[in-house]
Amino acid sequence: MYSKRIVYFGTRGQEITSRHLGAFVELGANIVACVEAPQGSISTTHTEKDPYEGIDEIAERLSIPLLCPVNPKDPGFISGIRKLKPDVLIVAGYQFYMTKQLLEIPPLGAINFHTSCLPRHAGMHPGFWAIWYGDKESGMVIHYMDDGIDTGDIIYETRVPVLPGDTINGLYDRCWKSSVPLVKNLLEGLESNSLPGKPQDMSRYIYNYEIIEKDFQLDFRQPADVLSGRVRMAPGKFYFVLNGEKYYVQECTVIDEPVYNRKFEIEVPVNIDNKLVFVTPRKFFQIVKVLKNGGNVEPVPLIV
């Protein structure tokens, strides 16, 4: 049993919350309270049902006080946390901004689990953006929290490859699996007051905003492999515009042929061997299956 008093912040139904909380509990962490976000208050691109025991279920089973503030900036909530006398706040999957007043309560600070290779992809939906940008790797960072967004010193980090054809769910699963073993290191470091801390290189900081519809429009100025990765992570969500109409790509492939030996125009589809193809700066992007108004459309006749 570890002695440091922990208040754990997370969200019901979110695997990043439950998976890591389960590890803390199994290792004998001294969790004096759990704080969960109000239901329906967060945005996520992870769509699989959480298979782990939720934060609410763990709190009930172990008789841990469960708090659910509408706003963590509320003075009454902050006063309640102060009365718990936590040594540290642990945050995993809790999207509300936490004020300096709250973060300064525990003597050992507040520590967050973030699913990216910080300082790249701070903020929202890091798994989505890692695939969207065509990153070769992602991972998990356990870092101290400060008054910025995912800007605190890094304690531990892991790396996992972004695989061809990765889905958001699959990438998140590997990232979270990679960081669970670090919970033991974290508890031991807290107990001995010996956790490391490495400042982030803020010249490499990239903050990700909330996803908007325009982010799903395929930009054929991007490499074909990057566009293919986007479609495969969310089939039927990414679209191209032709003659003022939106067409959603269900399936695509990349034709590995140099583009410099023919004359093509960006954004103008062509028929190559009876296939609907767009040229990109690297390779050709073939539309295999396309949807319009929820129904299948034959790709090649779209070429005028």
Domain shared by 201 and 230, yes or no: no
List Cβ neighbours of 261 (8 Å cut-off, separation of 6 or more). Answer: none
Beta strands in the chain (DSSP E): 5-10, 30-36, 66-67, 88-92, 110-114, 122-123, 137-144, 154-161, 207-208, 239-242, 245-255, 270-271, 276-279, 284-292, 295-297
For the chain, what percent of residues have pLDDT higher than 90? Answer: 77
User: Distance (Å, rounded) from C-alpha 100 to C-alpha 151?
Assistant: 14
pLDDT in tens, 142-194: 999 999 999 999 999 999 999 998 999 999 999 999 999 999 999 999 999 99
- Can you tell me the mean pLDDT for 41-47? 66
State which of 150, 173, 208 marks the end of a domain.
Answer: 208
Residue 271 is part of which domain span?
A: 214-302
Mean pLDDT of the chain: 92
Domain shared by 98 and 171, yes or no: yes
- Can you tell me the mean pLDDT for 226-242? 94
State which of 208, 239, 274 marks the end of a domain.
Answer: 208
Three-state DSSP class for residue 78: helix
List Cβ neighbours of 75 (8 Å cut-off, separation of 6 or more). Answer: none
User: Distance (Å, rounded) from C-alpha 198 to C-alpha 143?
Assistant: 9
pLDDT over 90 at 134, yes or no? yes
Domain shared by 148 and 286, yes or no: no
Domain shared by 264 and 182, yes or no: no
Q: What pLDDT, on the 0 to 100 scale, is given for residue 262?
A: 59
pLDDT in tens, 61-116: 999 999 999 999 999 999 999 999 999 999 999 989 999 999 999 999 999 999 99
Task: Pick the closest to residue 27 from 191, 214, 262 (CA basis).
Answer: 191
Domain shared by 89 and 151, yes or no: yes
- Can you tell me the mean pLDDT for 15-43? 91
User: Distance (Å, rounded) from C-alpha 75 to C-alpha 53?
Assistant: 30
Q: What pLDDT, on the 0 to 100 scale, is given for residue 143?
A: 99
Q: pTM to 2 decimals?
A: 0.91
**Letter string b/e over residues 101-118, b meaning 16 or more CB atoms within 10 A of that residue's CB:** ebbebbebbbbbbbbbbb
List Cβ neighbours of 260 (8 Å cut-off, separation of 6 or more). Answer: none
User: Distance (Å, rounded) from C-alpha 11 to C-alpha 73?
Assistant: 17
Whether 248 and 231 have beta carbons less than 8 Å apart is answered as: no
Whether 50 and 58 have beta carbons less than 8 Å apart is answered as: no
Domain shared by 25 and 172, yes or no: yes
Domain shared by 103 and 221, yes or no: no
Question: What CATH number has the domain bearing residue 203?
Answer: 3.40.50.170
pLDDT over 70 at 304, yes or no? no
Domain shared by 190 and 105, yes or no: yes
State which of 208, 242, 259 marks the end of a domain.
Answer: 208
Domain shared by 102 and 235, yes or no: no
Domain shared by 189 and 226, yes or no: no
- How many domains are there within the chain? 2
Residue type (1 letter), 49: K
Domain shared by 168 and 268, yes or no: no
Three-state DSSP class for residue 246: strand
Give the CA count within 13 Å in the CB-facing half-sphere of 294.
Answer: 0
What the block records as the tokens of 35 is: 């704080």
Which band of pLDDT confidence, cut at 50, 70 and 90, is reported for residue 302?
A: confident
**Letter string b/e over residues 213-247, b meaning 16 or more CB atoms within 10 A of that residue's CB:** eebbebebebbbebbbbbbbbbeeebbbebeeeeb
Element (H, E) at 56: helix 55-61
Question: What CATH number has the domain bearing residue 281?
Answer: 3.10.25.10
Q: What pLDDT, on the 0 to 100 scale, is given for residue 163?
A: 95
Q: What pLDDT, on the 0 to 100 scale, is given for residue 257?
A: 73
Domain shared by 84 and 220, yes or no: no
pLDDT in tens, 93-104: 998 999 999 999
Q: What pLDDT, on the 0 to 100 scale, is given for residue 261?
A: 56
